[in-house]
């Protein structure tokens, strides 16, 4: 009978489930069979269900008491003497008869219901298993294959065929994946949505960068070097503060590797994200100074209570401290937890003019562009070439030339 074969196939499918312990499997199989027996016979108490997990099959035996032919009250619990003798001539009233109930005797509808019930329980078990498995893997890097690319997310399949989601906002802006590509990301969240596990991955999380360092730098994996903090603007720039408890280990050198060999792989994975690795220290002045690397700091005034720091630099270091689009100073602030203000050190013998003094001649949005790259005085702008100013700001060359003309006239 085809239904019988189908049920055995479903049973085999159940048997091959990964991550399901034997005890749970046996319990659920028995529950499914007993539920069917309860519907068919009113009770399953007098049935023995023998399940052979290894072979992928089962047997159902029914126990009934032999009664006189005219005393039958419950056909499920009792069997008449004449029927018992058909099984074995030696049976007598009062004895127990145990005979096998064949699946085919259940009827087509009951077998279909049993199979459906079993399939449903398999599905639920698989979902619970995937949920539990990935709940324990939050913070781990997963490698999967891109199965489908949509506008708002990417569907990824892991090596066991499980579906994972990488949302658009968890992708590095310059990420570009196509179906069939291999992809690495970190598990950041596992939810249940419509009774199905929803596994969310991320490539923008600082945890992803931390795990990449653990993979590339054995000293971090072994605990010789500790990552104290990571901040990043995905795909643009990141700052990583590291510390070693072993004086013989240079944490920055170990993370970067010979000729950048270790960090190069991480940078490539993160779409050429610029990564600054700095030595962590409890000395706040030194920590803030290192956080603003590659700029060289002249002096720092710290207000620990308000978490503010005033940083003084030579004019040629200001734009380095601020960084392209203000990224360097932003990340330094995030790394140290301080609001950092940058001030230019000026030679008192030289007179300079604050850019605000030119508000009547230069439009305010142009002044804001110049300040954003650390140019807050006339001389700080004139120190840079036209090409430099065009590259660092969003200003057109004509605008830059006009600004320089106005500023130069001040000193003539």
Task: State residue 14's pLDDT score.
Answer: 58
Instruction: Determine if the peptide bond prior to 203 is cis (ω within 30°).
Output: no
Give which of 135, 136, 121, 143 is closest to 17, Cα–Cα: 121
CB 237, CB 327: distance < 8 Å: yes
- Reported as a pLDDT band with limits 50, 70 and 90, residue 6 is low
Question: pLDDT tens across 53-89, in order?
Answer: 666 677 899 999 999 998 999 989 999 999 999 988 8
At the top level of CATH, the class of 205-280 is alpha beta
- DSSP at 103: G
Residues 334-342, mean pLDDT to the nearest whole number:
95
- Reported as a pLDDT band with limits 50, 70 and 90, residue 11 is low
Residues 203-225, mean pLDDT to the nearest whole number:
96
Q: Is the pLDDT of residue 208 over 60?
A: yes
- Reported as a pLDDT band with limits 50, 70 and 90, residue 346 is low
Task: State residue 123's pLDDT score.
Answer: 82
Task: State residue 349's pLDDT score.
Answer: 46
Residues 19-38, mean pLDDT to the nearest whole number:
81
* Better pLDDT: 338 or 110: 338
| Domain 145-202: homologous superfamily in CATH | Nucleic acid-binding proteins (2.40.50.140)
Q: Is the pLDDT of residue 225 over 90?
A: yes
Q: Is the pLDDT of residue 3 over 50?
A: no
Distances (CA, A) of 81 to 43, 73, 87, 94, 324: 22, 13, 10, 9, 96
CA dihedral 203, 209, 212, 217 (to 10 degrees): 170
- Reported as a pLDDT band with limits 50, 70 and 90, residue 197 is very high
Distances (CA, A) of 298 to 92, 172, 231, 282, 345: 107, 35, 25, 19, 8
Intrachain domains 145-202 and 205-280 with the same fold? no
What stretch of H or E contains 265?
A: helix 261-269
Give CA–CA dist 208/216, Å, rounded: 12
Q: Is the pLDDT of residue 105 over 90?
A: no
- Reported as a pLDDT band with limits 50, 70 and 90, residue 168 is very high
Angle at 74 between CA 73 and CA 78, to 5 degrees: 100
The 10 Å Cβ neighbour count of residue 366 is 18
- The least confident of 208-222, 310-324, 336-350 is 336-350
CATH no., domain 2-133: 3.30.1480
Give CA–CA dist 232/210, Å, rounded: 11
- The least confident of 119-123, 198-202, 320-324 is 119-123
Q: Is the pLDDT of residue 19 over 60?
A: no
Residues 323-331, mean pLDDT to the nearest whole number:
92
CB 166, CB 156: distance < 8 Å: yes
CB 114, CB 40: distance < 8 Å: no
CATH no., domain 355-411: 1.10.150
Give CA–CA dist 99/64, Å, rounded: 9
Question: pLDDT tens across 354-381, in order?
Answer: 888 788 889 989 998 888 888 888 888 8
Task: State residue 45's pLDDT score.
Answer: 92
Task: State residue 409's pLDDT score.
Answer: 83
Q: Is the pLDDT of residue 2 over 50?
A: no
User: Can you give the residue ranges of every domain in the chain?
Assistant: 2-133, 145-202, 205-280, 355-411
Give CA–CA dist 14/29, Å, rounded: 9
- The least confident of 133-142, 202-211, 298-307, 339-348 is 339-348
Average pLDDT of the chain?
88
Task: State residue 1's pLDDT score.
Answer: 40
Question: pLDDT tens across 278-317, in order?
Answer: 999 999 999 999 999 999 999 999 999 999 999 999 888 8
- The least confident of 4-8, 215-219, 249-253, 309-313 is 4-8
Tokens 């050190």 identify what position? Answer: 345
């Amino acid at each position: 009978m085809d239904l019988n074969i189908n049920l055995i196939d479903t049973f085999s499918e159940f048997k091959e489930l990964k991550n399901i312990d034997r005890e749970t499997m046996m319990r659920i199989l028995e529950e499914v069979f007993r539920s069917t027996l309860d519907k068919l016979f009113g009770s399953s108490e007098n049935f023995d269900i023998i399940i052979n997990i290894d072979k992928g099959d089962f047997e159902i035996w029914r126990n009934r008491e032999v009664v006189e032919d005219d005393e039958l009250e419950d056909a499920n619990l009792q069997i008449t003497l004449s029927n018992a003798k058909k099984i074995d001539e030696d049976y007598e009233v009062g004895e127990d008869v145990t005979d096998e109930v064949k699946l085919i005797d259940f009827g087509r509808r009951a077998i279909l219901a049993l199979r459906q019930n079993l399939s449903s329980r398999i599905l639920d078990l698989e979902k619970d298993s995937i949920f539990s498995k990935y709940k324990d893997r939050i913070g781990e890097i997963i490698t999967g294959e891109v199965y489908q690319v949509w506008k708002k997310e990417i569907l990824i399949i892991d090596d066991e065929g499980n579906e994972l989601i990488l949302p658009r906002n968890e992708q590095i802006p310059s990420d570009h994946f196509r179906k069939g590509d291999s992809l690495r990301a970190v598990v950041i969240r596992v939810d249940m949505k419509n009774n199905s596990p929803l596994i969310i991955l991320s490539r923008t999380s600082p945890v992803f960068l931390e795990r990449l360092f653990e993979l590339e730098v054995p000293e971090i994996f072994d605990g010789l070097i500790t990552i104290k903090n990571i901040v990043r603007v995905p795909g643009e720039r990141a700052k990583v503060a590291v510390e070693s408890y072993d004086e013989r280990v240079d944490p920055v050198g170990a993370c970067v590797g010979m000729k950048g060999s270790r960090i190069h792989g991480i940078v490539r994975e993160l779409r050429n994200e610029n990564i600054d690795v700095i030595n962590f220290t409890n000395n706040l002045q030194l920590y803030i100074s290192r956080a603003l690397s590659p700029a060289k700091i002249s002096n720092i005034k710290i207000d620990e209570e308000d978490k503010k720091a005033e940083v003084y630099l030579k004019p040629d270091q200001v734009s380095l401290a601020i960084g392209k689009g203000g990224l360097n100073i932003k990340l330094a602030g995030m790394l140290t937890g301080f609001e950092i203000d940058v001030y230019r050190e000026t030679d008192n013998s030289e007179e300079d003019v604050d850019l605000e003094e030119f508000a009547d001649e230069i439009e305010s949005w142009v002044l804001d562009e110049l300040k954003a790259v650390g140019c807050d005085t006339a001389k700080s702008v004139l120190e840079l070439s036209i090409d430099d100013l065009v590259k660092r700001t969003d200003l057109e060359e004509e605008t830059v030339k006009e600004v320089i003309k106005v500023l130069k006239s001040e000193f003539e």
